[in-house]
């Protein structure tokens, strides 16, 4: 065993790390599964990943195909459960066509396919006898799904749909797995029948031959090229696809909700359209969970390295100060640590929400759907934006060394950032939230009850008038005080915006004109949700020495940091006074001191293996410098002492012979 350079830090922790691991994982069972599968992946050389950035695109992609096949083989050999298989894919940590197959193609068929369709396609998909992708976005349309241009025209003569790309901008563009691998796709297209348009629907379309993998007649398909980063998302074959009058049988339109009859008539089934919301909540809870995964990973690296890194402050030749001891470092790092935990808690709550929604849908109770839609849209936006920014902040917190690929942070950023764009552009989503909030406010008088995460608006009178009771810094630790401040802020901003909107003759115009303010209202509401879910979690019993206390500190850090960052909101609405703001700041500083001795243990609780982190700066043992040094020599540039090109290009300069050189 090597020395643990962070042993000292670990011994300082004031709580039971093993119990915190269980809180983080969600349950003892989840922890055990994760722990076992993480070790399995980490110990298998086939899953090695630290050489990715040294591979060209083709090799990189081939290597991903190899891993995906190997993972599938192991899943079958070890007879892993669905839960275990999904953990395995998570720890393999490489975007691949399988993500879309399992994460989008299968759920789309489950959610939108009829019983027969499910019976036909799901067994094939489950055995991976077909590989599917999810092809919605086009070159010209992403956010505006209703604007998609691909057409699916019903031909009553042959009982088929003709799938066609009428314009260049109608080319499908972005779908993962489409570029090189998928045999099938759920393709979204504008339904045309009897000369009439019927909006956008999903169709199962075979793309490639199951014999020789060549594109079927009428289909042009390929990869859209390199994306952000060197490894990152380039292991994925995001694709481009054009249809030239491609025919598919009528029964390959996903017909759970709308159906096209043999005659070409569009009829609605008795299944409510709202069913799609179930899938949406499912996808969004996964995204929020992924946000806490990605952010915690970055925070784990930055925290460990900040404890290893020493700079300045040496007294009489002693050791220098660990940079984690600088308040500026804490002020940047600890709110991110707190956010990682906060998003974890919210993700867990969304599991509950999903179950709740599913049950209600079964009982034909759609009353909570608009609220759930707004809430999950907002949480997707909030958590992914904060995570993307947070990863980059963690990289900066590591100084120069954070810029090295081997820190793990550049690639983590590059692979993560599209989460702010896919499954709904974050700004477009916040505008939807705002629209819902404005509607909620406008109905407050009408007796319609604000439900779920907007329930607080039912107390609008109180919240418009309440005064914050904080008199000393510790008052800010009281959940009721924090809740009231956040609720009052969100309410007052909503009401103010609604008032400004009402000054416009045309509501829609007003909405467009004030949309920047509306986005801020949405953010205030979403931050309140996170704070309130964190606080609710702390009302439960949480076992383990000191565990709950740590979570309380993190919850307060999360809330008070937001309060500080958005102070303008709180002050301009009169929710708190400048003096109370200053007390909140004092309290935040003192919380940092309480988090400090526990910081390394709090990131240990994520239970990440060194394989998964793939960061020299984030190594569990803190043995950073020798490993950085070793790693440098592996770069291909170091294969030779004198670099390729020296004799042609540098020597002639040095020897002043450039004029004659051929370049």
Out of 117, 137, 440, 587, the only residue in the binding site for ligand FAD (CB under 6 A) is 137
The C-alpha atoms of residue 385 and residue 336 are separated, in whole angstroms, by: 12
Please answer whether residues 152 and 201 qualify as being in contact, where contact means their C-beta atoms are separated by less than 8 angstroms.
Answer: yes
Stretch that binds its own copies, among 28-36, 110-118, 170-178, 366-374 (CB under 8 A): 170-178
Binding to ligand FAD, residues 325-384 (CB under 6 A): 326, 328-329
137 labelled as ligand-binding?
yes
Out of 39, 66, 362, 467, the only residue in the binding site for Ca ion (CB under 5 A) is 467
Question: Whose CA is closest to 466, among 369, 606, 577?
Answer: 577
Binding to ligand FAD, residues 513-552 (CB under 6 A): none
279 labelled as ligand-binding?
no
Which of its own copies, ligand FAD, Ca ion, none does residue 265 bind (CB under 5 to 8 Å by kind)? none
Residue 466 found at the interface with Ca ion (CB under 5 A): yes
Residue 629 found at the interface with ligand FAD (CB under 6 A): no
Q: Helix, strand, or coil here: 531?
A: helix
Q: Which DSSP string do the residues of 21-60 spell out, in sequence order?
A: HHHHHSSHHHHHHHHHHHHHHHT-GGG--TTGGGS-HHHH
The one catalytic residue in 9, 423, 484, 487 is 423
Residue 215 found at the interface with its own copies (CB under 8 A): yes
Based on C-alpha coordinates, what's the Rg of the chain?
27
Please answer whether residues 189 and 201 qualify as being in contact, where contact means their C-beta atoms are separated by less than 8 angstroms.
Answer: yes
Give the shortest CB-111-to-ligand FAD separation in angstroms: 15
Residue 171 found at the interface with its own copies (CB under 8 A): yes
Structure tokens at 219: 């289909």
Please answer whether residues 223 and 237 qualify as being in contact, where contact means their C-beta atoms are separated by less than 8 angstroms.
Answer: yes
The 3-class SS string of 250-265 reads: HHHECCCCEEECCCCC
Please answer whether residues 382 and 346 qualify as being in contact, where contact means their C-beta atoms are separated by less than 8 angstroms.
Answer: no
Which of Ca ion, its own copies, ligand FAD, none does residue 100 bind (CB under 5 to 8 Å by kind)? ligand FAD
Out of 17, 25, 38, 68, the only residue in the binding site for its own copies (CB under 8 A) is 68
Residue 469 found at the interface with Ca ion (CB under 5 A): yes
- 423 included as an active-site residue: yes
> Which residues, other chains included, contact 434 with Cβ-Cβ below 8 Å and sequence gap of 6+?
497, 515, 518, 519, 521, 522
Cα–Cα distance list, 192 to 218, 283, 285, 330, 375 (Å): 19, 29, 34, 58, 34
Cα–Cα distance list, 551 to 100, 342, 345 (Å): 35, 9, 10
The C-alpha atoms of residue 421 and residue 287 are separated, in whole angstroms, by: 12
Which of ligand FAD, Ca ion, its own copies, none does residue 504 bind (CB under 5 to 8 Å by kind)? none
Element (H, E) at 197: strand 196-206
- Which residue minimizes CB distance to ligand FAD? 142
The C-alpha atoms of residue 207 and residue 185 are separated, in whole angstroms, by: 7
Question: Whose CA is closest to 619, among 187, 169, 302?
Answer: 302
Nearer to Ca ion, 119 or 462 (CB): 462
Binding to its own copies, residues 74-133 (CB under 8 A): 76-77, 127-131
Nearer to ligand FAD, 420 or 602 (CB): 420
The C-alpha atoms of residue 131 and residue 126 are separated, in whole angstroms, by: 9
Which of its own copies, Ca ion, ligand FAD, none does residue 560 bind (CB under 5 to 8 Å by kind)? none
Nearer to its own copies, 186 or 523 (CB): 523
Strand order in the sheet with 239-243: 172-173, 239-243, 219-223
Binding to ligand FAD, residues 66-95 (CB under 6 A): none
Out of 352, 422, 625, 629, the only residue in the binding site for ligand FAD (CB under 6 A) is 422
**Residue 159: Cβ within 10 Å count:** 15
Which of ligand FAD, Ca ion, its own copies, none does residue 469 bind (CB under 5 to 8 Å by kind)? Ca ion
Which residues lie across from 172 on neighbouring strands?
138, 241
Cα–Cα distance list, 271 to 105, 134, 261, 354 (Å): 20, 23, 16, 19
Residue 571 found at the interface with its own copies (CB under 8 A): yes
Nearer to ligand FAD, 322 or 368 (CB): 322
Tokens 């949309």 locate to: 515
Nearer to ligand FAD, 313 or 626 (CB): 313
Which of its own copies, Ca ion, ligand FAD, none does residue 568 bind (CB under 5 to 8 Å by kind)? its own copies
Q: Site size for its own copies, by CB under 8 A?
A: 143
| C-alpha 454, offset from chain centre | 24
Binding to ligand FAD, residues 206-235 (CB under 6 A): 233
Out of 17, 96, 100, 493, the only residue in the binding site for ligand FAD (CB under 6 A) is 100
Stretch that binds ligand FAD, among 19-27, 417-425, 555-563, 603-611 (CB under 6 A): 417-425
Binding to its own copies, residues 355-414 (CB under 8 A): 392, 395-396, 399-400, 402-406, 410, 414
Binding residue ranges? 137, 176
Residues annotated as binding site for FAD? Answer: 137, 176
The contact set with Ca ion (CB under 5 A) reads 466-467, 469
Query: Which parts of this chain interact with ligand FAD (CB under 6 A)?
Result: 100, 134-137, 142-143, 174-176, 233, 238, 309, 311-312, 323, 326, 328-329, 397, 399-401, 403, 418, 421-422, 425, 427-428, 431
Residues catalogued as catalytic: 423
């Amino acid at each position: 065993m090597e020395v643990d350079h962070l042993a000292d830090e670990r011994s300082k922790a004031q709580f039971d790390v093993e119990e915190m691991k269980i809180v983080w994982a969600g349950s003892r069972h989840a922890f055990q599964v994760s722990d076992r599968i993480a070790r399995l992946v980490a110990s298998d050389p086939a899953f090695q990943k630290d050489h990715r950035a040294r591979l060209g695109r083709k090799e990189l992609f081939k290597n991903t195909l190899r891993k995906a096949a190997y993972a599938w083989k192991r899943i079958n050999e070890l007879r892993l459960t669905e839960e275990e298989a999904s953990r395995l894919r998570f720890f393999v940590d490489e975007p691949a066509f399988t993500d879309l197959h399992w994460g989008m193609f299968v759920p789309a068929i489950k959610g939108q396919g009829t019983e027969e369709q499910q019976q036909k396609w799901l067994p094939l998909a489950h055995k991976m006898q077909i590989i599917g992708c999810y092809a919605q976005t086009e070159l010209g349309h992403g956010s505006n799904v209703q604007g998609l241009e691909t057409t699916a025209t019903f031909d009553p003569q042959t009982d088929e749909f003709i799938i066609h790309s009428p314009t260049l901008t109608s080319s499908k563009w972005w779908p993962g797995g489409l570029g090189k691998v998928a045999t099938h796709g759920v393709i979204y297209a504008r339904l045309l029948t009897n000369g009439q348009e019927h909006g956008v629907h999903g169709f199962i379309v075979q793309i490639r031959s199951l014999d020789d993998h060549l594109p079927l007649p009428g289909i042009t398909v390929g990869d859209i090229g390199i994306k952000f980063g060197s490894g990152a998302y380039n292991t994925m074959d995001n694709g481009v696809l054009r249809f030239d009058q491609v025919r598919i049988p009528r029964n390959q339109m996903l017909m759970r909700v709308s159906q096209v009859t043999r005659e070409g008539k569009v009829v609605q089934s008795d299944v409510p359209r709202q069913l799609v919301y179930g899938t949406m909540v499912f996808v969004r809870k996964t995204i929020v969970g992924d946000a806490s995964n990605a952010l915690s990973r970055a925070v784990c690296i930055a925290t460990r390295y900040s404890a290893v890194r020493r700079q300045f402050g040496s007294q009489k030749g002693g050791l220098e100060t660990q940079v984690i001891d600088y308040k500026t470092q804490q002020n940047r790092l600890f709110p991110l640590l707190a956010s990682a935990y906060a998003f974890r808690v919210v993700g867990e709550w969304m599991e509950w929400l999903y179950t709740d929604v599913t049950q209600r849908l079964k009982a034909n109770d759609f009353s909570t759907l608009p609220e759930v839609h707004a809430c999950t849209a907002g949480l997707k936006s909030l958590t992914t934006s904060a995570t993307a920014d947070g990863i980059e902040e963690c990289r900066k917190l590591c100084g120069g060394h954070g810029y090295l690929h081997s820190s793990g942070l550049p690639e983590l950023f590059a692979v993560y950032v599209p989460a702010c764009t896919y499954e709904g552009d974050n700004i477009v989503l916040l505008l939807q939230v705002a629209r819902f909030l404005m509607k909620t406010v406008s109905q407050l008088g009408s007796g319609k009850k604000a439900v779920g995460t907007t329930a607080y608006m039912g107390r609008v009178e109180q919240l418009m008038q309440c005064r914050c009771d904080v008199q000393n810094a510790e008052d800010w630790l009281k959940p009721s005080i924090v809740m009231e401040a956040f609720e009052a802020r969100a309410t007052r901003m909503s009401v103010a915006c609604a008032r400004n909107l009402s000054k416009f003759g045309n509501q829609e115009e007003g909405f467009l004109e004030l949309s920047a303010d509306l986005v801020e209202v949405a953010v205030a509401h979403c931050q309140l949700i996170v704070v309130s879910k964190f606080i609710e979690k702390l009302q439960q019993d949480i076992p383990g020495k000191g565990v709950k206390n740590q979570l309380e500190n993190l919850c307060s850090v999360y809330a008070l940091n937001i309060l500080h960052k958005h102070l303008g909101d709180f002050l301009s609405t009169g929710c708190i006074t400048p003096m109370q703001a200053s007390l909140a700041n004092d309290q935040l500083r003192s919380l940092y001191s309480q988090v400090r001795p526990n910081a390394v243990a709090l990131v240990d609780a994520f239970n990440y293996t060194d394989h998964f982190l793939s960061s020299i700066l984030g190594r569990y043992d803190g043995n950073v410098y020798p490993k950085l040094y070793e790693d440098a020599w592996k770069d291909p540039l170091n294969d030779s002492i004198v670099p390729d090109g020296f004799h042609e290009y540098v020597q002639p300069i040095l020897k002043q012979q450039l004029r004659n050189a051929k370049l």
